[in-house]
């Protein structure tokens, strides 16, 4: 049994290496897709800004506004980085900072009508692209992939 152990360890290392390569390729392709989707919203919008817009929509689906501290917690962006990013998005007319009805001194971040519409259309377009690209995959494979990616995501989650 001890003789088989190095082979099993090596096979696992090879499998992990293949997984790392495929994930790296997937991340690069996903980033290029995000850049393309961002460019459709606004030519000056980058993938990071696009991700921030999606996060704002997720945290603020009803358009009432979200606190910057909640955005920072969700995105794990430093306060100064988030502030600069929000300023760029505001300059592009995609978001606004509005007075917090609970605290007149505070501001909330919300998507403008233009920003909300653009992000929703972009997400719809992205979903349509996924439907087209995965049309030949059967439902069981898609479900299994989603389950496995969820397991991988949970396994790689770092709490700090």
Give residue-wise pLDDT tens across range 73-106: 999 999 999 999 999 999 999 999 998 888 888 8
Residue 84 domain boundaries: 4-156
Residue 2 has pLDDT above 70, yes or no: no
Percent of the chain predicted with pLDDT > 70: 95
The full DSSP string for the chain is -TTHHHHHHHHHHHHHHHHHHHHHHHHHHHHHHHHHHHHHH-TT--HHHHHHHHHHHHH-TTSS-B-HHHHHHHHT--HHHHHHHHHHHHHTTSEEEEEETTEEEEEEEEE-HHHHHHHHHHHHHHHHHHHHHTTTS-HHHHHHHHHHHHHHHHHH----
Number of domains in the chain: 1
**Residue in the block written with tokens 């505001």:** 90
Which CATH number covers residue 148?
1.10.10.10
Give residue-wise pLDDT tens across range 95-142: 999 988 888 888 899 999 999 999 999 999 999 999 999 999 999 999
Give the whole-angstrom CA distance, residue 51 versus residue 58. 11
Task: Label residue 4 by pLDDT band (50, 70, 90).
Answer: low
């Amino acid at each position: 049994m001890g003789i088989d152990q190095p082979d099993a360890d090596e096979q696992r290392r090879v499998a992990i290496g293949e997984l790392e390569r495929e994930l790296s390729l997937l991340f690069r392709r996903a980033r290029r897709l995000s850049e393309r989707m961002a460019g459709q919203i606004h030519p000056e919008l980058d993938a990071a800004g696009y991700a921030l817009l999606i996060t704002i929509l997720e945290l603020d689906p009803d358009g009432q506004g979200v606190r910057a501290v909640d955005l920072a917690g969700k995105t794990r962006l430093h306060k100064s980085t988030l502030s600069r990013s929000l300023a760029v998005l505001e300059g592009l007319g995609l978001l606004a900072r509005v007075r917090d009805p609970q605290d007149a001194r505070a501001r909330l971040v919300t998507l403008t009508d233009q920003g909300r519409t653009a992000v929703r259309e972009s997400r719809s377009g992205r979903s349509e692209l996924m439907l087209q690209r995965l049309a030949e995959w059967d439902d069981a494979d898609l479900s299994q992939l989603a389950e496995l990616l969820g397991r991988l995501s949970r396994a790689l989650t770092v709490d700090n």
